[in-house]
Amino acid sequence: MCNMERTNYSTLTEFVLLGLSAHPKLQTVFFVLVLLMYQMILLGNGVLISVIIFDSHLHTPMYFFLCNLSFLDICYTSSSVPLILDNFLTVRKRISFSGCMVQMFLSFAMGATECVLLGMMALDRYVAICYPLRYPVIMTKNTYVPMAAGSWVIGLVDSVVQTSLAMQLPFCANNVINHFVCEILAILKLACADISINVISMAGSNLIVLVIPLLVISISYIFIVTTILRIPSIEGKCKAFSTCSAHLTVVIIFYGTIFFMYAKPKPKSSVGANNQDIIEALISLFYGVMTPMLNPLIYSLRNKDVKAVVKNMLGRRNSDGI
């Protein structure tokens, strides 16, 4: 355990990211794994975005939301993965105070936006399955574009509030963050002042970007399952469920990890909490890297429409080459 760096909050200019400093061998392994996963994230989500943009058959509400989800995954990982990779390579893992706040703002904003967006995607599936004949009338461009834009606005505003409150805290105990990145709960643990306002604000944030979207998703799927069970043919039931199974898988992975980290903010460290902090950091790493890598595979690249478009694009290139 490295020595805590004492500093007065009035002169605090940087933080030290602890990460896996106590496990140097693991750092090399994690560097290779994270680098490979980051490349897969950029490739998978980038291909998906390109396919959706350049093929007019995919200009529908569902794929518009998927395009936003993929762009979010690229932005989220790009706001944290370069710092994580640098953390694994450098001995002294320093980051400036302003740089830490910017990275925290971007990561929190992208994560909050994705929570809300998954709720919007559930509403889209609800209308598509429960009201298939009215779907083109309800989910027009004037409906789904504001839904996606609203997700971004909510996420950005929420992050502005949480980051602003965190920046006002005095950090007079130490500047060592027991994490890979500038994660907001790890930052709050370093504060030497009352963080009741931050805790209340985080609780409100949890309600808006975690609980409410999850309720929307749950209620939507109750109606979706009820509607699917009414379909007489087994083939029809399977076809209807297949349009939602990937989204449901992504929701379980995404919310499962994020609820573990944010549902119960802990303002102060307890005795013997170091191992728990490392476990939470590893789960955060899984949430921040693994989930965006799996999203294109689970949700989109398995889709028949996307696969057909990719095959056509590859076929055209081969024919042009010949």
CA distance linking residue 83 with residue 78, whole number of Å: 9
* Digit-coded pLDDT (tens) for 131-165: 989 999 999 999 999 999 999 999 999 999 999 99
Given this model, what pLDDT does residue 257 score?
72
Q: Where are the alpha helices (DSSP H) in 131-264?
A: 135-138, 141-167, 184-188, 196-206, 212-229, 234-262
CA 78 to chain centre: 11
Given this model, what pLDDT does residue 11 score?
52
CA distance linking residue 322 with residue 317, whole number of Å: 9
| pTM, rounded to two decimals | 0.84
Q: Where are the alpha helices (DSSP H) in the chain?
A: 24-54, 61-89, 97-130, 135-138, 141-167, 184-188, 196-206, 212-229, 234-262, 274-285, 291-295, 304-321
CB 101 within 8 A of CB 194: no
CA distance linking residue 213 with residue 248, whole number of Å: 13
Given this model, what pLDDT does residue 7 score?
45
Given this model, what pLDDT does residue 300 score?
63
Delimit the domains of the chain by residue range: 24-261+279-305
Given this model, what pLDDT does residue 266 score?
52
CATH topology of domain 24-261+279-305: Rhopdopsin 7-helix transmembrane proteins (1.20.1070)
Q: 96 — phi, psi (to 5°)?
A: -65, 160
Given this model, what pLDDT does residue 145 score?
95
Segments in the chain below pLDDT 50 = 1-10, 267, 269-272
